[in-house]
Amino acid sequence: MDKIACKNCKWFEKNDADDMGVCRLNPPVKADKDNMWGFEWPVVGLEDWCGKFVFMRKKPKTI
């Protein structure tokens, strides 16, 4: 069985960083980057986890 970690969560989306992704459970949050205001999804590590974890559904294997 897979362990409880963001990389195995329904709400996780991998980004370009090797060990990071974003959590899509809640709405984006306000972010200040280089004096430009915008919104972004919370960045999480592959091995992070939270109390709202839901295992990702695995695609059925084709025969």
Q: Which tens digit of pLDDT belongs to each residue from 10-51?
A: 999 999 888 999 999 999 988 877 766 788 899 999 999 999
Q: How confident is the model at residue 59, as a pLDDT?
A: 67
Q: Does the pLDDT at position 63 exceed 80?
A: no
Question: Who contacts 44 (Cβ-Cβ below 8 Å, separation ≥6)?
Answer: 6, 12, 20, 21, 22, 23
Residue entry with tokens 């960083």: 17
Q: How confident is the model at residue 30, as a pLDDT?
A: 85
Q: How confident is the model at residue 1, as a pLDDT?
A: 61
- Distance from C-alpha of 22 to C-alpha of 40, rounded to nearest angstrom: 9
